Amino acid sequence: MSKAEQLAEINTRWTRNCTCALRNTATQAVPGDGNPNADIVFIGEAPGKSEDAVGKPFVGAAGKFLNEMLSEVNMKREDVYITNIVKYRPPNNRDPLPEEVAACSPWLLEQLQTINPKLIVFLGRHALNRFFPKAKIGEVHGEMLQQNIDGIPAKNFLPLYHPAAALYNGSLRAVLLEDFKKIPRMLAVN
């Protein structure tokens, strides 16, 4: 089976079987989008209103900003894979609860094991803290974290501020863009 076929099977199976309670309020699952053969996977927090309506991650305002940053480093969405730690929209975009993160976790791990990227980019503190519970996004953003994590083939992680947080905050936006521009160099060293 190709990676694309494996990923399609994973997403179909978990869309059917995921036990996350957010299924009861969300319109649909938002499994992920992009290239199953990507060297880089972006992990956000959870789908918002637009993502819940469309069924794809980062298609709203934050997604438009993400697309702009990708083009700054000569990448397109089709070059990368984009997903979230939680696959269903929390009501009113509240923070996901630990049990919702836990329920969606095996789905995310299977996606990462199949894609097997060189670099995993965390978009925001929720994604960072899912894998590095003690890290503070204000301290580690833009820094390559190298670690073996159970169940994850990748060893290189780049935490970034969340595009939605940086969207309307000029100084955070500039920091995020500068951090984002490190991605090609970080991919090259691996």
Interacting residue ranges for ligand URA, rule: CB under 6 A = 44-48, 51, 57-58, 62, 84, 164
Residue 138 has which token pair?
């204000």
- Per-residue CA distances from 139 to 128, 145, 181 (Å): 12, 12, 18
* CA dihedral of 61, 166, 55, 42, whole degrees rounded to 10: 140
φ/ψ (deg, to 5) at 27: -70, -45
The CB-of-2 to ligand URA minimum distance in angstroms stands at: 25
Give which of 130, 122, 126 is closest to 176, Cα–Cα: 122
The CB-of-44 to ligand URA minimum distance in angstroms stands at: 3
The CB-of-48 to ligand URA minimum distance in angstroms stands at: 4
Which residue of this chain has its Cβ atom nearest to ligand URA in the complex?
A: 44
Which CB, 117 or 161, lies closer to ligand URA? 161
Give which of 151, 173, 148 is closest to 162, Cα–Cα: 173
Q: Give the span between the Cα atoms of 160 and 14, in whole angstroms.
A: 27
The CB-of-59 to ligand URA minimum distance in angstroms stands at: 7
Which CB, 105 or 155, lies closer to ligand URA? 105
Which CB, 33 or 110, lies closer to ligand URA? 33
φ/ψ (deg, to 5) at 175: -65, -45
Which CB, 127 or 140, lies closer to ligand URA? 127
The CB-of-102 to ligand URA minimum distance in angstroms stands at: 17
Name residues whose C-beta falls within 8 Å of residue 92's C-beta, 6 or more positions apart in sequence: none
The CB-of-98 to ligand URA minimum distance in angstroms stands at: 17
Which CB, 57 or 117, lies closer to ligand URA? 57
Q: Give the span between the Cα atoms of 24 and 103, in whole angstroms.
A: 14
Residue 35 has which token pair?
């290239």
Which CB, 14 or 58, lies closer to ligand URA? 58
